[in-house]
Amino acid sequence: MTTEQQNKSKTLIRERSAKRRSLYKSIDRVMQFIFRLCGLIAALMIILIVFFVAARGIQVFLPGYENPVSLGEFLTGMRWRSDQGVYGVLFIVINTIVTAFFAGLIAFPLSVLSALMIVKIAPKRLSNALTTVVELLAAIPSVVYGVFASGAITGIVEKIAGWFNYTTFGGNSMLAVILLLAIMIYPTITSMAVVAIRAVPESHELGSLALGASRTQTNFKVVLSSAKSGIFAGLILGLGRAFGEATAVSMVAGNAFIGPTWNPFDLTRTLTTTMLSGLHETVGVDYDVRFSVGIVLMIIILVSNLAINALRKKMESGD
Amino acid sequence: MKNLKKILVLVLALVMMISVVTACGGDKKAEKETEKATEKETEKATEKETEKATEKETEKATEKETEKATEKETEKATEKETEAAPAGEMTGQINVYTRDAASGTREGFEKVVGFEDQLTDKANEVASNGEMATQVGSDVQGIGYVSLTTDFAANNLHPANYEGVEPSIETVIDGSYLLSRPFCYTTRASGDYESDEKEQLVKAFIAFMTESTEGKEAVLSAGGIVDVDDSTPWEELKADHPIVDQDNSTITIKTGGSTSVEKTLTAALEAFQPLAGNFEKVVEQTGSSDGWKRTLGGDKDGPNRADIGFASRNFKDEEPTEDAISAAKYCDDAIVVVIEKNNPLTNFTQQNLFDIFTGAVTNWEDIAK
């Protein structure tokens, strides 16, 4: 091969690679555009939903609306009687927070410990089996949980109420809702916690063990505290599910008209069941006020997320 | 891993099998027990009934004989005695079940019993007829109301008499059973259909459903209450609706509105399809308020537009149907007060129900006899 030929082929290759580079660049640009579009659509959806719900929900308080609801009475009311035009959301807010809080209280430690078990303690085969179980639990549709709750949990609750000499509405009660929600959010928190604990670098653990800490000490002090951020993300998702679950909860809540409910064997009413109940067969204020309840629900979820995040930051800075 | 998953699935299947077997076995035992219990109870109840009844009868009879009692009066007296059936050993708190505020059944029930806007605050609100049936059926202290088409036995329910009248198709038609509500329909405005053929077909269907023997029989078989004797064979009515003789397979009739009417409506449509050129049907029921909205109201030109709208109540004042080709009642549905099967009560008066559902009476033993 002469040097001329070599030079020619070199320039050819150079030209080709330059062409290729420009092609790649244009592909990059197209992809960038597509990604941007996806981001934009996601952002637009949120804006659209919030805007639509807010517009629909706020109008019932405006003076131009036919039979307007007083905002003060709505926010401080302890009765929800749509048949009488009385819409008070405060007791529902309290009920919702109480049920979600207690469900979280039951499910959170269980979830974290079982995640630890799955990742660190169980032998591989058992841990795989347990992972499958948790995944299956997460995949069960909420209406199936609802059927299970109204068939099984209510019976248990009725029995427990019998020991304390309380009569329940066939087991429909706040306790039933709490137990149901605890079961429902357990797989959500667990699977997030599993991912978080898996992500803890092994070197941390080995370091702790090398310094003479026992396995249990390592698991609790090193692994869990390193995975804290992911575990709290799981808690946020779990509580979000507890706040937002409607179908299953409405099957055992009983939709009390007054509140707040403090006796665990009494009927309760959550924001979601209020929005869901009879949605298809209603018009006017009773329909539009559900959007106002939706706004309240969104605010509560936002505030609880912020609170959990603040708690996490405090714990992190405290260490 | 694959083996493990297989084993897991097998174990799950096994658990399901076992649970099915235990469930069946448990049911049988429970059934036997309840049967025995009810037998004993009914025995006791009938004994007491007959005792009391005979006592009262003789007393009243002698009184009324002196007052020159007519035959009708004695009839009434016996009716009242059956109403005053003993409450048996039923004691404790009454658990009131109600449908959600948007329900047509609830609206009908509250209107007939006369406690609109006065429902007690201590009530359990359920979202559907089926849910009401299962929940009251599993709560011996419970009382609720469902539509007559509900399967009482399957839900462990006892349908109670209202003012001494047993709920049945016959008693609703003859007007003696008063706890009933109308099923109504409305068409779109004349000329507001996509085609003239469709409008003709809708008119033909309305005639079929409301006037023809075949249509009424279909509605009746699906639980709607109509008087089949007062009808005309479709062969005679057909002459006014030549549209049914052509092939209508390209036309789709879409319905909307109340979910309660779905069974009766589907039955009527299915009976009419082969008689009217095999048109297509889309039954899309969502709730009474949508019946008017989707044919004459705000949604009439939207994606959910319907050709015929239904409501399980009369159309309200704010739902004017003057523009419609026709709008009327096509059948009745009875509302039945239900209690759990082992509850010995059999009858409620309007006053009883008023007291119970407004919260004036909260214990079973306090119900006025």
Distance CA B137, CA B19 (A): 22
**Per-residue pLDDT tens digits for B142-187:** 999 998 878 898 999 999 999 999 998 888 888 889 888 889 999 9
Select from A101, A113, A95 the least CA-distant residue to A189. A113
* Chain center to CA of B233: 27
C-alpha distances (whole Å) from A22 to each of A10, A14, B133 are 18, 12, 70
The DSSP code sequence of A42-94 is: HHHHHHHHHHHHHHHHHGGGSTTSSSPPPHHHHHH--BEEGGGTEE--HHHHH
Q: Which residues of B touch A281 (CB under 8 A)?
A: 100, 102-104, 258-259, 286-289
Enumerate residues 118 to 147 of chain A having a beta carbon within 8 A of any beta carbon in chain B: 125, 128-129, 132-133
From B258's Cα to the closest Cα of chain A, the distance in A is 8
Same domain for A53 and A171, yes or no, is: no
Which of B135, B299, B312 should be substituted to probe chain A, the one whose Cβ sees the most A Cβ atoms within 10 Å?
Answer: B135
Mark yes or no for CB contact A286/B102 under 8 Å.
yes
Per the CB < 8 A criterion, the answer to whether A308 and A235 are in contact is yes
Same domain for B106 and B75, yes or no, is: no
Domain count, chain A: 2
Mark yes or no for CB contact A82/B122 under 8 Å.
no
Q: Give me the domain span that covers residue B28.
A: 1-84
Enumerate residues 221 to 280 of chain A having a beta carbon within 8 A of any beta carbon in chain B: 250-251, 254-258, 267, 269, 276-280
Same domain for A156 and A228, yes or no, is: yes
| Lookup: tokens for B107 | 């609206």
Distance CA A270, CA A292 (A): 14
pLDDT of residue B31: 45
pLDDT of residue B76: 45
Count Cα neighbours of A107 within 13 Å in the Cβ-side half-sphere.
31
Partners of A188 in the β-ladder: none
In this structure, is residue A92 part of a structural domain?
yes
Same domain for B156 and B263, yes or no, is: yes
Same domain for A150 and A170, yes or no, is: yes
Q: Which residues of B touch A267 (CB under 8 A)?
A: 124
pLDDT of residue B34: 45
Q: Which residues of A touch B290 (CB under 8 A)?
A: 280
Per the CB < 8 A criterion, the answer to whether B264 and B183 are in contact is yes
Neighbours of A191 (CB within 10 A): 21
In this structure, is residue A124 part of a structural domain?
yes
Higher pLDDT, A160 or B55: A160
Same domain for A248 and A176, yes or no, is: yes
Same domain for B69 and B105, yes or no, is: no
Q: Touching check for B97 and chain A: CB below 8 Å?
A: yes
| Residue tagged 């912020």 (tokens) | A306
C-alpha distances (whole Å) from A309 to each of A229, A236, A305 are 9, 9, 6
From B48's Cα to the closest Cα of chain A, the distance in A is 29
Q: Touching check for A1 and chain B: CB below 8 Å?
A: no
Q: Give me the domain span that covers residue A30.
A: 3-61
For residue B133, pLDDT over 60 is answered with: yes
pLDDT of residue B67: 46
- Is B301 strand, coil or helix? coil
The DSSP code sequence of B120-156 is: -SSEEEESSHHHHHHHHHT-TTEEEEEETTS-TGGGT
Which of B65-79, B262-276, B301-315 shows the lowest mean pLDDT across its residues? B65-79
Same domain for A57 and A93, yes or no, is: no
Mark yes or no for CB contact B138/A170 under 8 Å.
yes
Which of B91, B107, B125, B260 should be substituted to probe chain A, the one whose Cβ sees the most A Cβ atoms within 10 Å?
Answer: B125
Q: Render the burial of A9-39: b for 16+ CB within 10 Å, e for the rest.
A: eeeeeeeeeeeeeeeeeeeeeeeeeeeeeee
Q: Touching check for B321 and chain A: CB below 8 Å?
A: no
Same domain for B114 and B45, yes or no, is: no
Q: Touching check for B117 and chain A: CB below 8 Å?
A: yes
Query: Which helix H or strand E contains B187, and what residues bound it?
Result: strand B180-187
| Lookup: tokens for A99 | 């049920």
Query: Where are the strands (E) in chain A, listed by range?
Result: 80-81, 86-87
Tell me the Cα Rg of chain B: 25
Same domain for A229 and A252, yes or no, is: yes
Mark yes or no for CB contact B142/A125 under 8 Å.
no
**Per-residue pLDDT tens digits for B90-117:** 788 899 999 887 777 887 888 888 888 8
Mark yes or no for CB contact B135/A281 under 8 Å.
no
| Lookup: tokens for A93 | 């807010």
pLDDT of residue B23: 64
Same domain for A129 and A111, yes or no, is: yes
Nearest-by-CA chain B residue for A166? B93
From A281's Cα to the closest Cα of chain B, the distance in A is 4
Same domain for B78 and B139, yes or no, is: no
Of B4, B286, B293, the CB nearest to A125: B4
Per the CB < 8 A criterion, the answer to whether B120 and B96 are in contact is yes
End-to-end Cα spacing for chain A:
70
From B260's Cα to the closest Cα of chain A, the distance in A is 11
- Is A217 strand, coil or helix? helix
Per the CB < 8 A criterion, the answer to whether A232 and A304 are in contact is no
DSSP code at position B160: P
pLDDT of residue B82: 41
Same domain for A185 and A288, yes or no, is: yes
B328 — phi, psi (to 5°)?
Answer: -165, 180
Q: Which residues of A touch B286 (CB under 8 A)?
A: 280-281
Mark yes or no for CB contact B142/A169 under 8 Å.
yes
Q: Which residues of A touch B135 (CB under 8 A)?
A: 150, 169-170, 172
Same domain for B5 and B79, yes or no, is: yes
Same domain for A162 and A234, yes or no, is: yes
In this structure, is residue A66 part of a structural domain?
no
A66 — phi, psi (to 5°)?
Answer: -75, 130
Neighbours of A201 (CB within 10 A): 9
Same domain for B75 and B95, yes or no, is: no
Which residue ranges in chain A fall short of pLDDT 70?
1, 280-281, 283, 318-319
For residue B88, pLDDT over 70 is answered with: no
How many pairs of residues across A and B have Cβ atoms under 8 Å apart?
A: 103
Of B1, B102, B141, the CB nearest to A281: B102
pLDDT of residue A92: 94
C-alpha distances (whole Å) from B167 to each of B34, B50, B111, B331, B334 are 24, 23, 18, 16, 7
The model's confidence at residue B118, banded by pLDDT at 50, 70 and 90, is: confident
Q: Which residues of B touch A150 (CB under 8 A)?
A: 134-135
pLDDT of residue B9: 73
**Per-residue pLDDT tens digits for B288-332:** 888 999 999 888 888 889 999 999 888 888 889 888 999 999 998
Same domain for B75 and B129, yes or no, is: no
For residue B18, pLDDT over 90 is answered with: no
Same domain for B79 and B147, yes or no, is: no
Report the greatest alpha carbon distance in chain B. 92
- Is A259 strand, coil or helix? coil
Mark yes or no for CB contact B290/A280 under 8 Å.
yes
Q: Touching check for A283 and chain B: CB below 8 Å?
A: yes
Enumerate residues 256 to 295 of chain B having a beta carbon within 8 A of any beta carbon in chain A: 258-259, 286-290, 293
Mark yes or no for CB contact A255/B117 under 8 Å.
no
Same domain for B41 and B132, yes or no, is: no
Domain count, chain B: 2
**Per-residue pLDDT tens digits for B228-253:** 888 899 988 988 898 888 899 899 99
From A263's Cα to the closest Cα of chain B, the distance in A is 14
The DSSP code sequence of B307-338 is: SEEEESSPPPTTS--TTBS-EEEEEEEEEEEE
Q: Looking at residue A290, which CATH number applies to its domain?
A: 1.10.3720.10
Nearest-by-CA chain B residue for A257? B121
ipTM of predicted complex: 0.70
- Is A200 strand, coil or helix? coil
Q: Provide CB contacts within 8 A for A2, sequence distance 6+.
A: none
Per the CB < 8 A criterion, the answer to whether B353 and B337 are in contact is yes
Same domain for B41 and B97, yes or no, is: no
Same domain for B30 and B101, yes or no, is: no
Q: Touching check for B8 and chain A: CB below 8 Å?
A: yes
From B64's Cα to the closest Cα of chain A, the distance in A is 45
Distance CA A226, CA A34 (A): 36
Q: Looking at residue B98, which CATH number applies to its domain?
A: 3.40.190.10
**Tally of residues, chain A:** 319
| Residue tagged 């469902």 (tokens) | B146
Same domain for A176 and A241, yes or no, is: yes
Of B4, B131, B258, the CB nearest to A128: B4
Same domain for A180 and A36, yes or no, is: no
For residue B86, pLDDT over 70 is answered with: no
Same domain for A77 and A205, yes or no, is: yes
